[in-house]
Structure 1
Amino acid sequence: MPTQILMPALSPTMEEGTLAKWLVKEGDTVSSGDLLAEIETDKATMEFEAVDEGVIGKILVPEGTEGVKVNDPIAVLLEEGESADDIGAAESKAPEGDASSHTEPADAPEDLKAAEGYGRDGGDAQEEKPKDDGASGAESAPRTEDGERIFASPLARRIAKDKGLDLSQVKGSGPRGRIVKADVEGAEPGKAEAPKAAQAPKAAAQDKPAEKAPAPAGASADAVMKMYEDRETEEVKLDGMRRTIAARLTEAKQTVPHFYLRRDIKLDALMKFRAQLNKQLESRGTKLSVNDFIIKACALALQQVPDANAVWAGDRILKIKPSDVAVAVAIEGGLFTPVLRDADSRSLSSLSSQMKDLAKRARDKKLAPHEYQGGSFAISNLGMFGIDNFDAVINPPHGAILAVGAGVKKPVVDEDGAVGVATVMSVTLSVDHRVIDGALGAQLLAAIVENLENPMVMLA
């Protein structure tokens, strides 16, 4: 039966495109990999390649047509032995038709269906009908022993049947592992290589949500690995921590509406005050760091601007009474964010002692869950690595995170207009706009700056 050529999704966000130019005409013979058309996506103009071989029987969408929906038929491909008389059964109605008019290609991958809306409901809306169904005359789709669908072109299936090949033992070289003619022509029964798709964990398919994801997924692992197959690489398997970090931060950037507020903070008064305190605390074996002051300054600021001491709770904002401040701690292979509870009411020496303990146990991976869960606010300090400034990603459900850069000597102009030199630290407050609006975030950052530039106030 003639095969429909469908409008492809050439970018993750593409829903429709313009068929800018056909590179073939009706009657042309094409092979897998031949260029068929130029298509304008939402990102660029890209070339569209053939997957199967055959003859272009009919062009359904003329070049220059705009707004062609992804998965709408754009042409019909005739296979060996087929003629233009066979086209009628393969043609579909206009793009604006309902779901039933969007015939699904027999070999469309399951993951592509979910991503691109096949059948408009994400399901297998138009499964191939068995041969005795007079509507199509197509053979039923081959499946593995476990019932998983095998994606192969109609011509590849026919050749495999004639040769007695088990398609579940054939490695597909087409897009997303699809089996094409070249894969079965040289294969012998019982000697074919198992497909990559069969090696993938079944759980991955079972865990896919039925609904459309809130944001497009990246390229598959196989696609990325194929891109670099001619380069020397080292594959690093993800451990549980790396998977969690990847999942949470991807969620954060996709679902949390970040905005950023930046300020410079003069540290000279704090550095002088810190030196005095450390001299007095030397007999106790306590040494305060600049980070200890930053934690205290943020904790007090959350009390001074209580509306900003809040988290996003799905369908509401949850305001927190105490100041529970999380601090990012880098460890081998990832990071932890242990939480200093009631940081607003704790002394600097107490905060310093607990932070050292939490950081040590974080690096040894000995923190209990309650020690790194919770909090409404976080601090990420890369100043010790010489970073001047950066933007941190919010750790949900926190309302904000402060990115802290290094303190460096800079020329400054004082209130009298005189130019001098001061130690200046750049900070960036990343804010969840669902929880904290711009003016409120500015008040919170101003309170943090005030506390750090007047450190003695934090002891009052």
Structure 2
Amino acid sequence: MKTEITMPVLSDTMQTGRLTRWNKAVGEAIKKGEAIAEVETDKAILDVEAFADGFLAGPLAAVDTDIPVRQAIGYIVDTLEAAQGSNGIIHAAQVLASALAPEDADLRRGPPYTIERPSMLRTAVARNMSATLDTPTFLISSRFATAPLHAAAKQAGLSLTLALTRACALTVAEDPWFNHAWTRQGLAKRSRVDVGVAVDSGEGLITPVLRDAAIRPLKELAETWRIMLGKVKKGRIYPEDYQGASFYLSNLGVFPEVERFNAIVPVGASAILAVAAAGSDGRADFTLSCDHRVIFGADAARFLQRLGKRLEDLSWLASGEGGR
């Protein structure tokens, strides 16, 4: 019997995966659960495990090709003879659907250029950013002092980003509209506050999610954040780690040249907060981008008002415990 090994579907947004390595050659014996190949998704490099005992058979997808999800990349057969009778390579041109290829810009009248192949992460970021064009957004901003929060966070052994995440989560919990998402079926009301935090992976933007960020003890959140950053650094972060947030935070405060910036609301979220570097007056620009189908101007103004008060009264940070 000859059974397909297919490109796995590892996230809701995944359309293709890039085959980066075969761990086995045609004719080699494989065991159920054994990692037989590696694929690069839009966020990480993951193993493809064998679903049965047998022998690896061709034709095999070529390494460093992009394959649509659920497309065959190889086969498992019952006998060595059947494996040895298979050969050939599946090339990307044979399997990559032309509909996935974006329309190219006309660069012929500009300077000479060469084409560099983007990573799966950069491709996914481009696709996700294009998807946000259908979201009607508006911006609202204010300036808050960040030095007191930074000092209190340092004393508690926390990063400024983690402290800001907690502050945002507590503020979202006070205004349930910020924990909704627009869908074609109606407004999706979330049962907990999950905050996605933008991280520069070196190859592109990734947003590890801190689940139940308004409730869990800060020490527990800090440990989760440490683990998440380690996964990002190793390129081993999984879809369940970076999907499903209802609110997002992007903190560029470590770049003193950034006085203000606007962030794009991810699909499935109500809003994202962009925090710039503090100026000479010790105050930083906080710009809130909102999905106008869910959040109205007065809602956003009240959110920033509550957040500003929370950054002045830091008792919630000193306690270190969760709570609404």
TM-score by length of 2: 0.64
Question: What CA deviation, in whole Å up to 9, does each residue of 1:159-192 have, x standing for no partner?
Answer: xxxxxxxxxxxxxxxxxxxxxxxxxxxxxxxxxx
1:434 partner letter: R
- 1:264 maps to 143
| 1:362 aligns to 2:244 (yes or no) | no
Question: What CA deviation, in whole Å up to 9, does each residue of 1:354-391 have, x standing for no partner?
Answer: 21221221122111211111010000111112212100
- 2:275 maps to 404
Partner Cα distance (2:202, 2:152) in 1: 34
Q: How far off is 1:314 after superposition?
A: 2.5
What is the correspondence of 1:293-442 to structure 2 with a 5 Å cutoff? 293-386=163-256, 387-410=258-281, 423-442=282-301
| 1:248 aligns to 2:128 (yes or no) | yes
Partner Cα distance (1:297, 1:233) in 2: 46
C-alpha contact (below 8 Å) 2:195/2:245 kept by paired residues? yes
What is the correspondence of 1:199-218 to structure 2 with a 5 Å cutoff? 203-204=97-98
2:125 partner letter: I
| 1:233 aligns to 2:113 (yes or no) | yes
What is the correspondence of 1:141-290 to structure 2 with a 5 Å cutoff? 203-204=97-98, 220-221=103-104, 223-228=105-110, 231-252=111-132, 254-275=133-154, 277-278=155-156, 287-290=157-160
C-alpha contact (below 8 Å) 1:267/1:453 kept by paired residues? no
Partner Cα distance (1:365, 1:313) in 2: 31
What is the correspondence of 1:41-52 to structure 2 with a 5 Å cutoff? none
Aligned-residue sequence identity (percent) comes to 30
- 1:300 and 1:200, CA in 2 relative to 1: closer, same or farther beyond 3 A? same
Q: How far off is 1:339 after superposition?
A: 0.5
C-alpha contact (below 8 Å) 1:269/1:454 kept by paired residues? no
- 1:443 maps to 302
C-alpha contact (below 8 Å) 2:181/2:188 kept by paired residues? yes
- 1:274 and 1:403, CA in 2 relative to 1: closer, same or farther beyond 3 A? same
C-alpha contact (below 8 Å) 2:172/2:179 kept by paired residues? yes
2:182 partner letter: W
Partner Cα distance (1:207, 1:288) in 2: 42
Q: How far off is 1:201 after superposition?
A: 9.0
C-alpha contact (below 8 Å) 2:264/2:272 kept by paired residues? yes
1:226 partner letter: R
SS at match of 2:287: strand
Partner Cα distance (1:200, 1:250) in 2: 26
SS at match of 1:263: strand
Question: What CA deviation, in whole Å up to 9, does each residue of 1:306-345 have, x standing for no partner?
Answer: 1221112223111112111000111122121111001111
Partner Cα distance (2:266, 2:259) in 1: 22
SS at match of 1:326: strand
Partner Cα distance (2:228, 2:310) in 1: 24
Number of residue pairs matched by the alignment = 226
- 1:350 and 1:207, CA in 2 relative to 1: closer, same or farther beyond 3 A? closer
SS at match of 1:441: helix
Query: By percentage of residues, which structure has more strand?
Result: 2
Aligned-residue CA RMSD in angstroms? 2.3
C-alpha contact (below 8 Å) 1:330/1:363 kept by paired residues? no
- Highest relative contact order (Cα 8 Å, sep 6+), 1 or 2? 2
Higher radius of gyration, 1 or 2: 1
Partner Cα distance (2:227, 2:216) in 1: 15
Instruction: Note the residue ranges of structure 2 that are not aligned, 5 or more in a row.
Output: 1-92
Partner Cα distance (2:96, 2:162) in 1: 48
Instruction: Note the residue ranges of structure 1 that are not aligned, 5 or more in a row.
Output: 1-198, 209-216, 279-286, 411-422
- 1:359 and 1:241, CA in 2 relative to 1: closer, same or farther beyond 3 A? same
C-alpha contact (below 8 Å) 2:178/2:247 kept by paired residues? no
Partner Cα distance (1:339, 1:200) in 2: 36
- 1:318 and 1:225, CA in 2 relative to 1: closer, same or farther beyond 3 A? same
Partner Cα distance (1:332, 1:272) in 2: 28
SS at match of 1:321: coil
SS at match of 2:97: helix
C-alpha contact (below 8 Å) 1:330/1:336 kept by paired residues? yes
- 1:207 and 1:382, CA in 2 relative to 1: closer, same or farther beyond 3 A? closer
2:269 partner letter: H
SS at match of 1:378: strand
Partner Cα distance (1:353, 1:425) in 2: 27
SS at match of 1:425: strand
Partner Cα distance (1:371, 1:200) in 2: 33
Partner Cα distance (1:383, 1:324) in 2: 22
- 2:85 maps to none
